[in-house]
Amino acid sequence: APEGLTVMQLVKQGRYPYQTWLKQWSEEDEKSVGNALKATGIDHLKDRTVDSLSGGQRQRAWIAMTLAQDTDIILLDEPTTYLDMTHQIEILDLLFELNEKEGRTIVMVLHDLNLACRYAHNIVAIKDQKIFDQGKPEVVINCGLVKHVFGMNCEVTIDPLFGTPLCIPHGKGRRILKDKIGAPV
């Protein structure tokens, strides 16, 4: 976002496609922006500059801009990248809620398999720019897929909180520690 741009100005950009020479800012536009700010929980930040926000707040502002567009489908490319664990969960909870309550289709790229399994109804695994497998997380995510797509051995168990697949990657560090002390750490 350009320096000095406020959250309100950013979110209003989501209504830009609806503006024409004959139809300028409307009550409907105002309502959509207000709803987007409220849905993302940042209405109290509307006068702050985007560059003064935390990473999680900034992501919410960008998502609010997307929501202001009032589209049935939302496309997101790694919306949780560079966020700490708390903000990742907050963003994914928000998107899940938008899907459940408003029926919006949300398509996003996530590289964290465990979060993808927790939140996705369907997963598409891509390798070499082609669909390797797709379907419900409990069907798609297994040790074979992780080995083929990511080149990594793992264990797949059940997430005790959500009942979804939980991928536990093997790593050299663990084997080295195990070999050094004789037992897993």
Q: Which residue has the tokens 């409907």?
A: 28
Per-residue confidence of the chain (185 residues) as pLDDT tens digits? 778 999 999 999 999 988 888 888 889 999 999 999 998 889 999 999 999 998 889 988 999 999 999 998 999 999 888 788 988 898 899 899 889 988 889 999 998 999 999 999 999 999 999 999 999 999 999 999 999 999 999 999 999 999 999 999 987 665 545 555 555 54
Record the pTM: 0.78
Between CA 94 and CA 110 the distance in angstroms is: 15
Q: Which 8-state DSSP code applies to residue 121?
A: S
Q: Are 106 and 95 in contact (CB under 8 A)?
A: yes
Give the list of residues 6+ apart from residue 155 with CB closer than 8 angstroms, or none.
Answer: 143, 167, 168, 170
Write out the two tokens for 150.
């990511």
- Strand locations in 27-79 (E): 73-77
Task: Residue 19: count other Cβ atoms within 10 Å of its Cβ.
Answer: 13
Q: Which 8-state DSSP code applies to residue 169?
A: E
Name the nearest CA neighbour of 159 among 121, 119, 124: 119
